[in-house]
Amino acid sequence: MFKLNYYIFKEHVGPFFLALMIILFLLIVNFLIGNVERLLGKGLPIQVILEFIVLNLAWIVALVIPMAVLVATLIAFGRLSADNEIIALKSAGVNLYKLAIFPVCAAGILCSVLIYFNNYIVPDANYRASTLKRDIIKKKPTLLIEEGVFVDEIPNHKILVRRKPEDPNSPKIFDILIYDFSDPKYQTTISAEEGELTLSQDGEFMVMTLFNGELTKVETRNFEELQVMKFDKQVITMEADLGFSRDDEYKRQKRDVEKTLDELKATIEADNKIISNTQNDINKITKTVFDFYYEESENPPMSVKSLAKTKNDSLSYYKFIGNVNRRNLSKVGYLLKKISNKEENIKQNLVEIHKKYAIPVACIVFVLLGMPLGILFRKSGISVGGSISMLFFLVYYAFLIQGEALADKGIISPFLGMWSANIILTLLGFFLLFWAIEEKKVTFRKAQ
């Protein structure tokens, strides 16, 4: 049985590495088209561009490996089925369920390596890639702007630049449209014929100097109040969130995709502690107001209004109590919002924790799914395996992306958001495996 399992394993090795190289190449090309085209020809050193590409390879590899496992399993068992070797094994009385043991064990080892990779290599690479990208933008802020594309990476602003100069080192931009959402009371639109884009000395603010333009401000409640102002020169300061240099890159606060498992757990623990302390503050405020009402009246009133009446309708006292109440309500509202933000952060960090395990486990899931699919389709070759795999890739990652979005919003649990795709495809794999093996058994007729 060992020789048979080793034979099955060898059937996987070649297709796995072939699929790995092909899919990796396709995703790298797609990444280059979407990102590096804005860097090429911008006067950046070639080593900076290469560093940016290499750092982004980490998350690409983490996605490619499960894909390659499914393609390899489909090709291997598809070839065995197409050459009637599966039928021969059934005829020899081999339990085909045991054929899955070796590939599943190999996928388990690959899963363990990928968990380590996702926990230590990918977060560090993501952090360095993000830091490098921000550093590039800091030195050349016009790289953040693409012609004819709305830029929404600047907080509370959307910017459209229809033309940029050929010189990549020039700060000038032309035909500019800006939507400013910094003041919720007004909808502000700014247009200008040309402008210059620079950063403040500390790198924390993006400064846009506009020339020959118009500013329109509309009141958002009734849209009746309209202000229009033409200007020859207007300076706009926007928060850039780029205040760092390569020397202090490790001082920047990490995003959830840039944290290891231990860092995510530490963040969750810290947020839970903040929530607990904030809830205690709310309880103290509530108790203080409650105690104050009852101490100031012989017969405890049920409202501020009734409390005022017990003090001979003193208008000044009534206003004093009302102001105290409003201040406390405002503070409680702020604290409740703080709790809500921390709870949202906890959900996002929990999603990232589950993701670090869910994607590697997909290696095992895809073996259980690819084996029966290969037997049933009875086709071999990278084109067939790739075509069938693509359908399940789309289904898997659609579940993954949508599950992450729903879990981040708190609609479903982080566990369900990240593991639903694995659970569904595993159940489908077991069903197909039973069908492929039990329902396709070779039957022999007795000789007449």
Q: What is the pLDDT of residue 269?
A: 92
Q: What is the pLDDT of residue 27?
A: 87
In sign, the C-alpha dihedral spanning 176, 230, 241, 257 is: negative
Q: What is the pLDDT of residue 252?
A: 56
The dihedral formed by the CA atoms of 295, 298, 304 and 306, expressed in degrees to the nearest 10: 180
Q: What is the pLDDT of residue 415?
A: 92
Assess if residue 261 is contained within a domain.
Answer: no
pLDDT digits (tens, 9 = 90+) for 106-159: 999 999 999 999 999 999 898 888 888 777 766 666 666 677 777 766 777 788
C-alpha distances (whole Å) from 262 to each of 188, 268, 317, 396 are 44, 10, 54, 27
pLDDT digits (tens, 9 = 90+) for 237-258: 877 654 334 444 444 567 788 8
CA 105, 107, 109 angle in degrees (round to 5)? 70
Assess if residue 145 is contained within a domain.
Answer: no
H/E stretch holding 69: helix 46-82
Cα 25 to Cα 33: distance, rounded to the nearest angstrom: 12
Which range, 40-54, 201-215, 264-278, 325-339, has the best average confidence (pLDDT)?
264-278
Residue ranges of alpha helices (H) inside 83-224 are: 85-91, 101-116, 122-139
- Please give the backbone phi and psi of residue 35, each rounded to the nearest 5 degrees, phi first: -125, -50
pLDDT band at 304 (very low <50, low <70, confident <90, very high): very low
pLDDT digits (tens, 9 = 90+) for 38-63: 666 556 678 878 888 888 889 899 98
Assess if residue 168 is contained within a domain.
Answer: yes
- Please give the backbone phi and psi of residue 264, each rounded to the nearest 5 degrees, phi first: -65, -45
User: Does residue 425 sit in the same domain as residue 360?
Assistant: yes
Assess if residue 150 is contained within a domain.
Answer: no
pLDDT above 50 (res 318) = no
User: Does residue 295 sit in the same domain as residue 366?
Assistant: no
Q: Give the pLDDT mean for 370-385.
A: 75
Task: Tell which of 214, 239, 264 closes a domain.
Answer: 239
User: Does residue 77 sit in the same domain as residue 13?
Assistant: yes
Q: Give the pLDDT mean for 10-28.
A: 88
Task: Tell which of 345, 370, 403 closes a domain.
Answer: 345
Whole-structure pTM value: 0.68
Q: What is the pLDDT of residue 204?
A: 64
The strand pair at 157-163 and 186-199 is best described as unpaired
Domain containing 218 equals 155-239
Tally of structural domains, the chain: 3
Q: Give the pLDDT mean for 308-322.
A: 46
User: Does residue 216 sit in the same domain as residue 105?
Assistant: no
Tally: H helices and E strands in the chain: 10, 5
Contacts of 96 (CB under 8 A, 6+ apart): 86, 89, 90, 437
Assess if residue 272 is contained within a domain.
Answer: no
Q: What is the pLDDT of residue 107?
A: 92
User: Does residue 354 sit in the same domain as residue 410?
Assistant: yes
Task: Tell me what percent of the residues of the chain surpass a pLDDT of 70.
Answer: 73
Answer with the residue of higher pLDDT: 418 or 378.
418
Q: Which two tokens stand for residue 442?
A: 């070779």
User: 112-149 burial, b if ≥16 CB within 10 A, otherwise e?
Assistant: eebbebbbebbbebbbbbbbbbbbbbbbbbbbbbeeee
Cα 328 to Cα 355: distance, rounded to the nearest angstrom: 41
Assess if residue 247 is contained within a domain.
Answer: no
Q: Give the pLDDT mean for 88-114.
A: 84
Assess if residue 250 is contained within a domain.
Answer: no
The amino acid at residue 215 is L
User: Does residue 15 sit in the same domain as residue 95?
Assistant: yes
pLDDT digits (tens, 9 = 90+) for 388-408: 778 888 888 888 888 888 888
The owner of tokens 């202000």 is 227
User: Does residue 164 sit in the same domain as residue 226?
Assistant: yes
User: Does residue 336 sit in the same domain as residue 356?
Assistant: no
Cα 3 to Cα 7: distance, rounded to the nearest angstrom: 6
Answer with the residue of higher pLDDT: 412 or 183.
412
Contacts of 83 (CB under 8 A, 6+ apart): 380
Cα 9 to Cα 18: distance, rounded to the nearest angstrom: 15
User: Does residue 108 sit in the same domain as residue 214?
Assistant: no
User: Does residue 167 sit in the same domain as residue 134?
Assistant: no
pLDDT digits (tens, 9 = 90+) for 193-248: 888 887 766 556 778 888 988 888 877 665 556 788 888 888 888 776 543 344 44
Q: What average pLDDT does the chain have? A: 77
User: Does residue 127 sit in the same domain as residue 170?
Assistant: no
Assess if residue 66 is contained within a domain.
Answer: yes
User: Does residue 210 sit in the same domain as residue 318?
Assistant: no
Listed range (179-188, 206-215, 229-238, 294-303) with the worst mean pLDDT = 294-303
Task: Tell which of 322, 345, 368 closes a domain.
Answer: 345
